Chain A
Amino acid sequence: MRVSVRVFARLRDIVGAAELEREAPAGASVRHLWDDLVADFPDAGDYAGSLSAAVNTEYAKMDTELHDGDEVAFLPPVSGGERVAALRIGRCSTN
């Protein structure tokens, strides 16, 4: 089957294109497609532990099964989102 792949930010720089068409065997998962991409672009492997993925513009897990014609997006970590260091418990006031 054929799927389109979109990559963003530094991952796009590594791949050298924003969008590419890839062949995948029937029943392949998002992870299969990712591993295949890393084989061609080894630097993309930096994102193995921090990647998010989407299928047809919905966030998806790496074990999501793909279908012919799907659009798969691989997303490096987004720009914000550092966590608060210390947990504080509080409640909102309603007035």
Chain B
Amino acid sequence: MSIARLAVTTERLDLDALIGAVSPAAEADAEGTGAIASFLGLVREHNLGRRVVKLEYEAYEPLAVRAFERIADEIAERWPAAQVAVHHRVGVLAVGEASVAITAASPHRADAFAACRYLIERIKQIAPIWKREFFDGGDVWIEGATADPDDAAAREDAYRRACV
């Protein structure tokens, strides 16, 4: 059974399934694949000096999936041979649990690593996903960037992070 390549889910993330989703067996036109890079983002126990108890992730799901599609299109422009998949988890996650899983397949490793890194950087810029950190003594919404998919400087920033 094939799984959605781009998804927001309340289920525990399955990296093997995402590797399968970009593997040659799953993709008739991926016979030239020679590398798959993967990334798992985990709930870290310490943040800015606070001891994290748990994180709660919230998404505007339909827009998040559209943001993933947009990022996949950007990757197809920069790295035409790359195939990518990403699942982002929502709900309450304990320390050590995976919140995001990404796989990127390509004929050669350089593009697989670059596409994988670009995808996580862009998700953090434009995917409508928020996290609330519960720590010893309180909780706080983590707010970083204003989401603007048309911000060319942000896109270049993600590209630099992926490639240098």
**A residues in contact with B127, CB < 8 Å:** 78
**B residues in contact with A73, CB < 8 Å:** 60, 63, 128
- Among A75, A82, A88, point to the contact of B144 (Cβ < 8 A): A82
Q: Are A87 and B143 in contact (CB under 8 A)?
A: no
The SS class assigned to the A binding surface is loop
Residue total for B at the interface (Cβ-Cβ under 8 A): 37
Tell me if A77 is interfacial: C-beta within 8 Å of chain B.
Answer: yes
Q: Are A95 and B142 in contact (CB under 8 A)?
A: no
- Among B63, B131, B145, B160, point to the contact of A59 (Cβ < 8 A): B63
Contacts of A9-24 to chain B: CB distance below 8 A: 9-10, 13
Residue on B nearest A81 in the bound complex, by CB: B145
- Among A13, A77, A90, point to the contact of B163 (Cβ < 8 A): A90
Q: Are A58 and B145 in contact (CB under 8 A)?
A: no
- Among A58, A88, A94, point to the contact of B66 (Cβ < 8 A): A58
Tell me if B146 is interfacial: C-beta within 8 Å of chain A.
Answer: yes
| Cβ of A6 to closest chain B Cβ, rounded Å | 7
Q: Per-residue 0/1 for B116-131: is the Cβ within 8 Å of any A Cβ (1 yes, 0 no)?
A: 0000010111111111
Residue total for A at the interface (Cβ-Cβ under 8 A): 32
Q: Per-residue 0/1 for B85-126: is the Cβ within 8 Å of any A Cβ (1 yes, 0 no)?
A: 000000000000000000000001011001000000101111
Tell me if B157 is interfacial: C-beta within 8 Å of chain A.
Answer: yes
Residue on A nearest B41 in the bound complex, by CB: A80
Q: Are A10 and B141 in contact (CB under 8 A)?
A: yes
**B residues in contact with A9, CB < 8 Å:** 58, 130, 132, 141, 143
Distance in angstroms between the alpha carbons of A93 and B66 in the assembled complex: 29
Given known contacts A59-B63, A75-B128, A10 and B143 CB-to-CB distance under 8 angstroms: yes
**B residues in contact with A89, CB < 8 Å:** 160, 164
Q: Are B163 and A78 in contact (CB under 8 A)?
A: no
Distance in angstroms between the alpha carbons of A89 and B161 in the assembled complex: 10
**A residues in contact with B163, CB < 8 Å:** 90-92
**B residues in contact with A92, CB < 8 Å:** 110-111, 114, 162-163
Tell me if A4 is interfacial: C-beta within 8 Å of chain B.
Answer: no
Further pairs besides A50-B143, A59-B147: 8, Cβ < 8 Å? A6-B60, A9-B130, A57-B62, A59-B148, A78-B126, A78-B144, A80-B123, A81-B147
